[in-house]
Structure 1
Amino acid sequence: MARISDVIAEFINNMLEEKSSKEIIIQRNDLADKFNCAPSQINYVLTTRFSHERGYIIESRRGGGGYIVIKKISHDNNEKIAMMLNESIGRSITYQGALSLVHYLLELSLVTERECELIKMSVNDRNLTSVEDKNKVRADILRGMMAVILS
């Protein structure tokens, strides 16, 4: 049986696929009621499955019941992808953030399974043991790899 997080993520992805605008508006409490879970579970799914690194923009509006806008970033060309990746990586990136980004590249078919594994291994904490600021070095490595991949 699938975990509730997987079911919620699949439901949201299906909603996004149905919309031609690649943008949906949901109410967190309504979605929580639909799946009989706490609203914090919806937040967890949005944070982990619909992050910027995975190609989404989340906007939260408060008041009047509040709602959440989920937008799928369109990638018409490699220049847009490069800008989004550089913004996602920033000056430093955690290993978990790097994993999300690499898996997103795999979803876009910009890297193969093998390349994905090579990138993950190169930015793994075990390989950065002698480095003082692992997250900064990891970001530098990722930016260099992205430049090669998108060229």
Structure 2
Amino acid sequence: MRNISDVIEQYLKSILQESAEGMVEIQRNDLADRFSCVPSQINYVISTRFTLEKGYLVESKRGGGGYIRIQRIELPAQHVLHTHLHQSIGQAISQSAGEGLIYQLEEAKFLNPREAALMRAAISRECLAIKLPYRDQLRARLLKAMLISLLNK
């Protein structure tokens, strides 16, 4: 059985997908009531699974009429994707930021699950067993090379 965080994530993704604007506004307490959980569970799901690295922009307004707005950020068209990748990755990238970019590309169907898994393995700190900042620099070079190669297919 899936855990409550997975269920909440899938629910939010499904209503985002159905939204014509690619955006959804929710009230944390209403969502917590819907899934019979504490509001902090909603915060956890949003802060860990709807990050900028994963292609989401999250805004929140506190107070009585407060809301949480989640918006999907679309990747640019493939012909400008190379420039976007160079700007996103830069000269160095952390493992979590690299994994977030891979996740975003997989969600957008630029990468299949197998390609994404291989890339995550290749950029892991276990695989790149060298000291910082060299590890992040090598990770950026590997990530750029793999993505450019895959996206040119």
The TM-score bracket by the shorter chain reads 0.7 to 0.9
Q: Is the 8 A contact 1:26 1:68 kept in 2?
A: yes
Aligned pairs (5 A) from 1:69-84? 69-75=69-75, 77-78=77-78, 81=81
Residues 1:21 and 2:21 are matched in the alignment = yes
Name the SS for the 2:58 alignment partner. strand
Q: Is the 8 A contact 2:26 2:69 kept in 1?
A: yes
Name the SS for the 1:127 alignment partner. coil
In 1: Cα distance, 2:90 partner to 2:66 partner: 30
Question: How many angstroms does 1:83 deviate by?
Answer: 6.0
Name the SS for the 2:69 alignment partner. strand
Please, what is the CA RMSD of the aligned residues? 2.6
In 1: Cα distance, 2:111 partner to 2:43 partner: 29
Cross-structure match for 1:123: 123
Cross-structure match for 1:138: 139
How many residues matched? 151
Name the SS for the 2:119 alignment partner. helix
Question: How many angstroms does 1:90 deviate by?
Answer: 5.5
Cross-structure match for 1:46: 46
In 1: Cα distance, 2:151 partner to 2:35 partner: 39
Q: Deviations over 1:26-59 (max 9, x none)?
A: 1112212221222221121112222222221111
Structure 2 residue runs of 5 or longer lacking an equivalent are none
Deviates more, 1:82-91 or 1:123-132: 82-91
Q: TM-score, normalised by structure 1?
A: 0.79
Name the SS for the 1:21 alignment partner. coil
